[in-house]
Structure 1
């Protein structure tokens, strides 16, 4: 769900992270993803995808290039592949007990002829079989099942090739009770240790500074900014060893190191300390680095701390979003103070627009910036300068999409945001909205990182989609996060059915996000539909870039890649009604 960016806010460049795939390889992956989408039927409206982005383990992996996590990452171009033997298994932790109604297996050519689908409350030795076959067909197998458990496993017993078994995706659908509304906290540094490495001088073996990774210098690993990173240079740095160290300013006792890796991570590396950046003592060593976030408890003394990589995970170099050193001593610089976490549901109203006013009135210019222009994603509309938004005199804002030609576009609509008028970090952000129904319509209530307004390109600023509904199916909605390591069609999110199976276009519904330093809980009409845990995202997808101010956006798009085309059944004018927008802390 690659969000629409207002043209007045569109970044000049999105090349900061860059793709390391060749153009042909990228095209093939996209074509393969489209092929899988054609083969598999859409999820039933009563089902929610429960497995995407969840913790996953496997009996084995062919190599580090085919990890278990690739089978639940929502990316049709990555896969898990096992060792070349029978039996093999892949297990996903749904986080809470679930009623499982459907499992979709998207096999690579190396599929299983005989396998079972099993559930377990604990993920240990108590497994209940809910599907079994000795005549697996490969391709996309969409299985109707009935079972209950927190853990779901595919257990293969007979391969069809001399290779292992391999899955592009392992999708588990069903329903749960309300998930935990408080995501689990990240591992705290031991013994009251403090962050010693923030804003300290850093040195690396090489660093990258080009169109694929602009300004990826050593200091970026220590700037307490999860959307910037250090990377070794492709010119002379995609070799072993590769290293980066930080000067803590004075001798320190080091107790913990936290590494947030880019996909170019170290399989084998050492954490070392030194009094002089010349003589190094190893305090931690591994040959099984897993990437993503690694929290390492150590014991060592020195002024300098180094990550010394000796075996890369790929043909590329080494790259770290964050390299944090905790302990005592040193000469620490205090990082910026974070606001306190709110207590939900929150009672202190810090922003509200009730849209009360005379019929024909316009959005309050003290609260909203009108954002005319075109959208992205091959959308069809032109956002006018306030012509398509007005108050209805009954307490609602009306955003209207029309079939009319303006500035070369065949449709008009409206988009507005609170940029430079109201920004917020943490709280309960909610809106009561009635969405329109019709092919090609795309109403949304979302937020963008406020640093976008000062030049940071998308998706490095972060994007929080509280609500997206596609007019072609108003029995379901989407809540999604976009960041440098997961964005567009690979965003971290959830498609979920409407509570009770109601048609969302038939009345008003309250979409909300309860957001703090540990994650974001998305709700509709008070019912939790998706929990984005910061700890889970960092350990399975990449850096969490949502701990800073954001601004709010309302818009109604027409057509484009995500909602699809309009047709003769699409009603015009179509109206998105907003009863209120409120923010509590």
Structure 2
């Protein structure tokens, strides 16, 4: 299958992230995971410098939270249904960090609650398991609250030292996960095509964030803060049906 580039952000302009693509999602209510950070829209928590988007977590008191960080989304600006998404990222190091590259459906903003709505985790990482990255799907039937979500873990050394391509390829029948163009796992719709089991046939939006602590992030080592999730590029492709048919 051939793909053509639909849009990309390679972070060429210093300062705040491109507001034609990214929106800050702010708040500090734990997000159902007992997370400890407050997501701000402050420049120091998310800024572009020398071609890199930096999402930075600090140890500081803010709105009754002890940490700050940032969460950027493409909601309302760049929505995605099927295709290929590649995010080139370098992950933070240290206990308590919990970076994620993931997607939620547009419908969650219009009353379709989690986990009914679905979730695609392109990459999750926790600092206490330094050399491992996780790929997962969540739905009403299959999610982490009941412990039966489709998930896959790989050992990927050097994730905090170098930039790696985290990629998902998504169509109406399956969702596949790659790192540096190497395929690791495919989750298929199979016979369960109900919306409760496969809610992945609608528009989603992309999310980049760095959480601190929480049920999964675990105990926080304050000595490693500030910590950075760094993004070098985001590329979104759609299937090139003309190229496919003409082959």
Q: Same fold (TM over 0.5)?
A: yes
**Which runs of 5 or more residues in structure 1 are unaligned?**
1-342
Q: Does the alignment pair 1:533 with 2:188?
A: yes
Counterpart contact for 2:105–2:119, Cα < 8 Å: yes
Name the residue aligned to 1:405.
Answer: 61
* Superposition map of 1:332-347 within 5 A: 343-344=1-2, 346=3
Distance 2:19 2:13 in 1: 13
Q: Does the alignment pair 1:492 with 2:112?
A: no
- Render the CA deviation track for 1:344-374: whole Å, top value 9, x for unaligned: 4x1x21121111113xx00111111111112
Name the residue aligned to 1:427.
Answer: 83
- Report the alpha carbon displacement of residue 474 of structure 1 after superposing the two structures with TM: 2.2
- Report the alpha carbon displacement of residue 408 of structure 1 after superposing the two structures with TM: 1.0
SS at match of 2:214: coil
SS at match of 2:166: strand
SS at match of 1:453: helix
Counterpart contact for 2:142–2:197, Cα < 8 Å: no
Distance 2:171 2:9 in 1: 22
Name the residue aligned to 1:219.
Answer: none
Distance 1:444 1:567 in 2: 19
Q: Does the alignment pair 1:456 with 2:112?
A: yes
Name the residue aligned to 1:567.
Answer: 221
SS at match of 2:225: coil
Distance 2:203 2:126 in 1: 28
Distance 2:118 2:221 in 1: 33
- Render the CA deviation track for 1:425-446: whole Å, top value 9, x for unaligned: 1000110000001101000000
Name the residue aligned to 1:390.
Answer: 47
- Report the alpha carbon displacement of residue 567 of structure 1 after superposing the two structures with TM: 2.5
Distance 2:128 2:115 in 1: 27
Counterpart contact for 2:99–2:125, Cα < 8 Å: yes
- Report the alpha carbon displacement of residue 487 of structure 1 after superposing the two structures with TM: 1.1
Counterpart contact for 1:370–1:386, Cα < 8 Å: no
Q: Does the alignment pair 1:521 with 2:179?
A: no
SS at match of 1:458: coil
- Report the alpha carbon displacement of residue 503 of structure 1 after superposing the two structures with TM: 2.2
- Report the alpha carbon displacement of residue 463 of structure 1 after superposing the two structures with TM: 0.5
- Report the alpha carbon displacement of residue 495 of structure 1 after superposing the two structures with TM: 1.4
Distance 1:543 1:366 in 2: 33
- Render the CA deviation track for 1:243-274: whole Å, top value 9, x for unaligned: xxxxxxxxxxxxxxxxxxxxxxxxxxxxxxxx
Greater relative contact order (CA < 8 Å, ≥ 6 in sequence): 2
| RMSD over aligned Cα atoms | 1.4
Distance 1:517 1:579 in 2: 29
- Report the alpha carbon displacement of residue 385 of structure 1 after superposing the two structures with TM: 1.5
Name the residue aligned to 1:582.
Answer: 235
Name the residue aligned to 1:105.
Answer: none
- Report the alpha carbon displacement of residue 386 of structure 1 after superposing the two structures with TM: 3.2
Distance 1:544 1:389 in 2: 33
Counterpart contact for 2:73–2:206, Cα < 8 Å: yes
Which of 36, 41, 44 is the matching residue for 1:380?
Answer: 36
Counterpart contact for 2:61–2:67, Cα < 8 Å: yes
Counterpart contact for 2:212–2:220, Cα < 8 Å: yes
- Render the CA deviation track for 1:162-214: whole Å, top value 9, x for unaligned: xxxxxxxxxxxxxxxxxxxxxxxxxxxxxxxxxxxxxxxxxxxxxxxxxxxxx
Q: Does the alignment pair 1:546 with 2:204?
A: no
SS at match of 1:472: helix
Name the residue aligned to 2:212.
Answer: 558
- Report the alpha carbon displacement of residue 565 of structure 1 after superposing the two structures with TM: 1.4
Structure exhibiting the larger radius of gyration computed from Cα positions = 1
Distance 1:573 1:554 in 2: 17
**Which runs of 5 or more residues in structure 2 are unaligned?**
239-247
What TM-score do the two structures reach when normalised by structure 1? 0.39
SS at match of 1:488: coil
- Report the alpha carbon displacement of residue 557 of structure 1 after superposing the two structures with TM: 0.1
